[in-house]
Amino acid sequence: MKHLFISFLLLAHGILGAQPVVSISVDGSINPAVAQFIHRSIDQAYRQKAPCLLIHLNTPGGLLESTRQIVGDFLQSPLPIIVFVAPAGAHAGSAGVFVTLAADLAAMAPGTNIGAAHPVGLQGGETDTIMNSKITNDAAAFIRTIAEKRKRNLDWAEAAVRQSVSITDSEALEKNIIDLIAANDQQLLEQVDGKMIALNAGSQILHTKGAEVQILEMGFMEKMLNLISDPNIAYVMMMLGFFGLLFELFNPGSIFPGIVGFIALVLAFYSLHSLPVNYAGLALIIFGIILFLLELKIVSHGMLAIGGVVSLVIGSLMLIRPVSGVDIFRLSRTVIFSSVGLATCFFLFVLGKGIRAQRLRPVTGVEGLVGQTGIALDTLDPAGMVQVHGELWKALSVSGRVDPGQKIRVKDIKDLTLYVDTIGA
C-alpha cells in the first residue's frame, strides 16, 4: 500500500509537471495595449491551471501609468509570474526595470542588460524642476516598494530611477536584482522547478521541468491598439483623419473620405491619450490646418500658406517628446516633413482646385447662356425673338427698344425666356 501511495504521488507530480507553461512576449514599449494583454494573459493562464506565466521581455521603456497597472497585476496574481529578459541582446530599460523587479522570479539571458529607469510621464515635453522632482520621487518610492516586496536590492533599484544606472545580466545576478541566468526557456524552467513561490492565496511549488511552452499571442484588437500606440502611426492617422473630414466637408456626399477620416481621428486621439502629448504642439497643428483653409478663401499671396507650413512643422516637432532623453516616443523627422509636404499639396492643389472648380461660372446648360451675346431677330419692344449660339429664344429687353440685327447680351433667364440688353447699354 505504501509503494502504491508513493507511485500515486510520483504520477501526480508528473501530471503537474506536464501542465504547459503559458508564455507571452513583450517586445516594444510598455503602453495600455501591452498592460491589457498581460492582464488577459494572467487570467487565461490561471484558467488553464498553468504552473506559471512566462513573460519574455525586451523593452526600451514606456508609460509609468501602464507600468503601474502591470505591477499591480503581478502583485495580485493568483499564479507565479516569471519575467525573462531575452533573447541575447535584449534589455529591460526604464519601465522594464519595474516590470522585471515585480515578477515572482526574474531571469535574464546572457548578453542582456537592465536599468535606466528614470520615469517617463504623461505630460509630455520637458517638465520644470519641481514637477520633475515630484515624478522622480514618486517613481523612486514605487520601485522601492516593489524591491522590498520581492526582497531585491533596494539601493540599486532606487539608483536605477534617480541616476539611470544600467547593469549586465551577471552584475544583476550578483547584486540580487534577478534570481537566475538562463540561455533559453527549457533551461530556465529546469532551474525554477521545485521553487516555492509565495502568493496572496498561499505558497505554490513550481513543477516546470520538462513542461511544454504554450505561446499566447496578442488578439487582433490588442495588436491594433499596440500598433497605433507608436507615435509615428498615431501622427499619420491624425493627419489622415483631418484630411478625410475636410475633404468630406468640401465635397458633401463623398461619404467614404468622411467615414475613414472619422475612424482615423478617433483612433489617433485614443493613441495620443496614451502618449506623452504636448498640447501646445497639437494646437499649432490645428492652427496650421486653419491657415491652409483660410488660404483657399482669402487672397493672401501665399502668406497664409507659409504660416500654415511653419505652424504644422513646429507643432509636429513639439507634439510628442521624450522625457529625460528617452527616444521611444520621439516622432520621426522623415514622417513629419513627409506629412507636412503632403498636407501642403493636399490643401493648395487637390482641395484648392476642387473649391475653385465649384466657384466657376457654368459654361453649359441653360445657366451657361448668362453673359453670352447674340443678335435680335425681331424688334424687341420689349418682347421678341433673338439668336444666341445659333439657337432661337424668346427674349425680353431690359434696356428699352431693340431693333432687328442689333447685338444683345443675355442678363438673366427665367422660364426659358431670356432677359437681354443691347451691347454697350
pLDDT digits (tens, 9 = 90+) for 314-371: 999 888 865 444 556 678 888 999 988 888 887 777 666 655 555 555 555 556 678 7
Cell, residue 53: 506565466
Cell 502591470 found at:
70
pLDDT at 359: 54
Check if the beta carbon of residue 410 is closer than 8 Å to that of residue 374: yes
Amino acid at position 347, single letter: F
Check if the beta carbon of residue 374 is closer than 8 Å to that of residue 351: no
Amino acid at position 309, single letter: V
Give kind and range of the element (H or E) at residue 92. Answer: strand 91-93
pLDDT at 366: 59
- Three-class SS of residue 362? coil
Q: Which of 182, 180, 207 is nearest to 193 (CA)?
A: 207
Q: CA 212, CA 185: separation in Å to the nearest integer? A: 10
The model's pLDDT over 113-140, given as tens digits with 9 standing for 90+, comes to 999 887 654 444 444 577 678 888 899 9
In this prediction, residue 247 has a pLDDT band, given cuts at 50, 70 and 90, of: confident
Which residues does residue 277 pair with via DSSP β-bridges, in sequence order?
Answer: 320
pLDDT at 200: 87
The model's pLDDT over 289-321, given as tens digits with 9 standing for 90+, comes to 888 888 777 777 778 888 888 999 999 988 886
Provide the sign of the torsion angle of the four alpha carbons 207, 69, 59, 167, taken in this order. Answer: negative
Dihedrals φ, ψ of 19, to 5°? Answer: -65, 130
Domains of the chain: 13-221 (3.90.226.10), 230-359 (no CATH), 366-422 (2.40.50.140)
Provide the sign of the torsion angle of the four alpha carbons 92, 104, 217, 238, taken in this order. Answer: negative
pLDDT at 128: 56
Compute the CA torsion angle 106, 110, 112, 115 (nearest 10 deg). Answer: 50
Check if the beta carbon of residue 81 is closer than 8 Å to that of residue 128: no
In this prediction, residue 257 has a pLDDT band, given cuts at 50, 70 and 90, of: confident
Q: CA 261, CA 332: separation in Å to the nearest integer? A: 22
pLDDT at 120: 55
Of residues 293 and 205, the one with the higher pLDDT is 205
Arithmetic mean of pLDDT, 55-84: 94
Of residues 415 and 236, the one with the higher pLDDT is 236
